[in-house]
């Protein structure tokens, strides 16, 4: 019996590590995009407070996410918010602010954007970790602690890559569009409708394209 429990725990740990690597990457991308326009000194603060906010939200949401996900329409609202954030992150830059929003150009606005995005994504993230832990509070804590270095290191790496390859901004925002589309597609209110329409199974991909193309066209028309 003890061997089975040990094997089960090992499998759960491996699942949590995989979940943290994938879902922690989402948080890292959001933090990096939101902090891309900050001065070097403020970037570190943005990453720290952004990562701290992501962890605190995960701790809170891991206890309530399962119940919240049963609320019809909540993931639709979350998906729409992520669409907005994805577009907003592309449109904001050092030289222009086409949405007349200060996000990314001061520390407070950057952290605010990070917290909103983290809250939305924490719904699915927390459910995934809690499910893999199978009710074991120690494994839940392990998953939450493991996500800290992944988010912080990931944010720093992505920020350095953004400085060299600005196209990553579009790819990162496109990923947010994909997540947004998936959230809308899997909401209790819309699941049946999406399953009945073959074309709509590609909605996450459509959401990703929407964010990138809308932002690109908007910036082009503003020139």
- Tens digits of residue pLDDT in 187-212: 888 888 888 887 788 898 999 999 99
Give the pLDDT of residue 208: 92
Tell me: pLDDT of 109 over 80. Answer: yes
More confident residue, 2 or 213: 213
**What confidence tens digit (pLDDT) does each residue in 147-163 have?**
778 888 888 888 888 88
Looking at mean pLDDT, say which of 19-23, 113-117, 219-223 comes out highest. Answer: 113-117
**What confidence tens digit (pLDDT) does each residue in 18-43 have?**
767 666 777 788 888 888 888 878 88
Question: Rounded to the nearest 10 degrees, how much is the dihedral formed by the CA atoms of 168, 172, 178, 181?
Answer: -130
pLDDT-derived band of residue 2, with 50, 70 and 90 as boundaries?
Answer: very low
Pick from 67, 166, 162, 178: which is nearest to 121 by CA? 178
Q: For all residues of the chain together, what is the average pLDDT?
A: 77
Length of the chain: 223
Give the pLDDT of residue 1: 39
The dihedral sign for the CA sequence 160, 163, 165, 168: positive
Domain that holds residue 148: 2-222
pLDDT-derived band of residue 4, with 50, 70 and 90 as boundaries?
Answer: very low
- With 0.75 as the threshold, say if the pTM is over it: no
Pick from 183, 181, 155: which is nearest to 54 by CA? 155
More confident residue, 96 or 25: 25
Q: Is 134 left (phi over 0), alpha (psi -120 to 50) or beta?
A: left
Q: In angstroms, what is the C-alpha Rg of the chain? A: 18
Pick from 112, 135, 155: which is nearest to 63 by CA? 135
Pick from 68, 74, 26: which is nearest to 177 by CA? 26
- Please tell me the total count of domains within the chain: 1
The percent of residues above 70 in pLDDT, for the chain, comes to 79
Give the pLDDT of residue 6: 59
Averaged pLDDT, 49-62 = 79
Strand partners of residue 103: 106
Element (H, E) at 108: helix 107-133
């Amino acid at each position: 019996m003890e061997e089975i429990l040990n094997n089960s725990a090992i499998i759960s740990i491996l699942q949590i590590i995989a979940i943290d690597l994938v879902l922690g990457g989402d948080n890292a991308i959001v933090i990096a995009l939101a902090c891309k326009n900050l001065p070097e000194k403020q970037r570190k603060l943005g990453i720290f407070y952004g990562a701290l906010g992501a962890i605190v939200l995960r701790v809170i949401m891991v206890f309530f996410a399962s119940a919240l996900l049963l609320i019809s329409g909540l993931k639709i609202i979350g998906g729409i918010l992520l669409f907005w954030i994805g577009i907003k992150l592309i449109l904001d830059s050092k030289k222009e602010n086409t949405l007349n929003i200060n996000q990314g150009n001061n520390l407070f606005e950057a952290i605010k954007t990070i917290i909103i995005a983290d809250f939305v994504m924490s719904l699915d993230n927390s459910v995934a970790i809690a499910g893999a832990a199978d009710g074991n509070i120690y494994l839940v804590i392990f998953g939450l602690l493991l996500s800290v270095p992944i988010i912080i290191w990931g944010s720093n790496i992505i920020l350095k890559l953004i400085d060299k390859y600005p196209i990553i901004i579009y790819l990162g925002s496109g990923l947010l569009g994909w997540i947004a589309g998936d959230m809308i597609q899997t909401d209790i209110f819309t699941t049946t409708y999406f399953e009945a329409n073959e074309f709509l199974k590609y909605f996450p991909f459509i959401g990703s394209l929407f964010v990138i193309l809308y932002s690109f066209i908007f910036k082009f028309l503003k020139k």
